[in-house]
Structure 1
Amino acid sequence: MTCKNCKNCDRKDNLTGRLKRRVTFHRPPTGADSYGEPIDQWPVVASVWAAIEPLRGREYFAAQREHADVTTRIIIRYRPDIDRTMNVVYGSTTFEIGHIIHPDFAKRELHLMCKERQ
């Protein structure tokens, strides 16, 4: 199926319609404040449009407590400044980036495999 504006594209490859959520990337703090204390504030790197797709969830018991893991794929347009040390924030939910996938190494989009922070 082709979209109305393009003759040679497949609709599922069109990022514009899929990126509906606004997410913010935060970098880990570095350095210290004027008193020599480590900085706790994670600085904002960028705010971008993204698609968020929950892939898998599980619950388990460890150390006499119940835990839950949710694996989520976040799709964004390609950015060279994104790395695995960053967190992604959507609303009140924070995601830790586990893996960054470059489909076809085309520099069109990034697939971020994330875990929801508890």
Structure 2
Amino acid sequence: MRAGRLRHRVTLMRQGEGRDPLGAPTTDWAEVATVWAEVTGISAREFVASGGEQNQATYQILMRYRRGVDDTMRVEHRPPTGNGEVYEIVSALPDARRTQLTLMCKTVKS
């Protein structure tokens, strides 16, 4: 894998459980790792759901292989290389030699 392609800084996040100041259970997203990646837009679509227009974009994120990345996680693309976009991982596809990992993702509404 050529390092020059990996020009975006992204953060892998996993949902964890914790407690708020009053002791009530909460589910927050905790950072797992910040890595270099290539973020590419694949497609976008608009549709009507729940009585309103919705849109969704599909992205491909290419990064070096990292064990433990799965579809329960999400990716945050923060500045300076991103605008704070959040992507839900649909599938994590390693290559045959386990040198790179391709994440198929979709946008998440804030």
TM-score per shorter chain, which class?
0.7 to 0.9
Which ranges of 4 or more aligned residues in structure 1 deviate by more than 6 Å? none
Once the two structures are superposed, the pairs formed by residues 3-42 of structure 1 within 5 Å of their partners are 14-33=1-20, 35-42=22-29
Q: Shift in Å at residue 48 of structure 1? A: 0.1
RMSD: 1.5
* Equivalent pairs, count: 104
Match of 2:106 in 1: 115
Residue ranges of structure 2 left out of the alignment (5+ in a row): 79-83
Q: Supply the distance in 1 between the matched residues of 2:70 and 2:58 (Cα, whole angstroms).
A: 18
CA contact (8 A) 2:86 2:108 kept: yes
Q: Supply the distance in 2 between the matched residues of 1:47 and 1:107 (Cα, whole angstroms).
A: 19
Residue ranges of structure 1 left out of the alignment (5+ in a row): 1-13
Aligned residue identity for 1:93? E
Q: Deviations over 1:13-66 (max 9, x none)?
A: x33011000000111022435643123431110000000011010001112201
Larger-gyration structure (1/2): 1
Higher relative contact order (CA 8 A, sep 6+): 2
Q: Supply the distance in 2 between the matched residues of 1:67 and 1:39 (Cα, whole angstroms).
A: 28
Percentage identity across paired residues of the two chains: 36
Q: Supply the distance in 1 between the matched residues of 2:63 and 2:6 (Cα, whole angstroms).
A: 7
Once the two structures are superposed, the pairs formed by residues 1-118 of structure 1 within 5 Å of their partners are 14-33=1-20, 35-91=22-78, 92-104=84-96, 106-118=97-109
- Greater fraction strand: 2
SS in 2 for 1:43: strand
